């Protein structure tokens, strides 16, 4: 088993743990960026649709048409009230200063406010899937 497959299996196992809650916000653009071929993209988009069905997962997508209150940002993960991981081009940083954690938590909240969920999010993913042809 490749390292990538093993890592994906570990991530999926964590998502399936109903005692944990996850909230994701994606930009619509990431649904349409072409990393890998159509088959790879279709699998990734299909995975998003499947993850949306999990009771412990909330998935929002910021559509192109959303009124922006914050610029699109590099990837960051808010784990709790004490830790954030932020990615840049050259490093991934673990941020633990309360002011840093609060800044990223506010950014996540603002991005979340512009996100669509449920049927509207599914429609954006379906649109990205249909554009793969």
Q: Give per-residue pLDDT as tens, 74-94.
A: 889 998 889 999 988 888 899
* Burial environment of residue 124 by CB neighbours within 10 A (0 to 12, 13 to 18, 19 or more): buried
Whether 61 and 124 have beta carbons less than 8 Å apart is answered as yes
- Give the span between the Cα atoms of 60 and 118, in whole angstroms: 8
CB 108 within 8 A of CB 25: yes
The better pLDDT of the pair 12, 39 is held by: 39
pLDDT at 2 over 90: no
Tell me which residue of 67, 75, 52, 61 sits closest to 29, measured CA to CA: 61
What radius of gyration, in Å, describes the C-alpha atoms of the chain? 16
68 secondary structure, DSSP code = P
Q: What percent of the chain has pLDDT over 90?
A: 65
Strand, helix or coil at 79?
coil
Higher pLDDT, 100 or 133: 100
pTM over 0.85: no
Task: State residue 95's pLDDT score.
Answer: 93
Question: Does residue 9 have a pLDDT over 70?
Answer: no
pLDDT at res. 6: 64
């Amino acid at each position: 088993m490749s390292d990538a497959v093993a890592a994906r299996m570990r991530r999926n196992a964590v998502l399936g743990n109903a005692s944990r809650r996850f909230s994701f916000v994606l930009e619509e653009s990431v649904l349409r960026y072409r990393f890998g071929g159509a088959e790879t993209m279709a699998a990734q988009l299909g995975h998003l649709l499947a993850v949306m069905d999990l009771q412990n997962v909330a998935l929002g997508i910021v559509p192109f048409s959303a009124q922006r209150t914050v610029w699109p940002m590099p990837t960051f993960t808010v784990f709790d009230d004490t830790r954030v991981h932020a990615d840049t081009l050259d490093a991934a940083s673990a941020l633990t200063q309360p002011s840093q954690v609060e800044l990223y938590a506010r950014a996540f909240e603002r991005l979340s406010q512009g996100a669509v969920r449920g049927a509207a999010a599914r429609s954006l993913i379906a649109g990205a899937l249909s554009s793969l042809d």
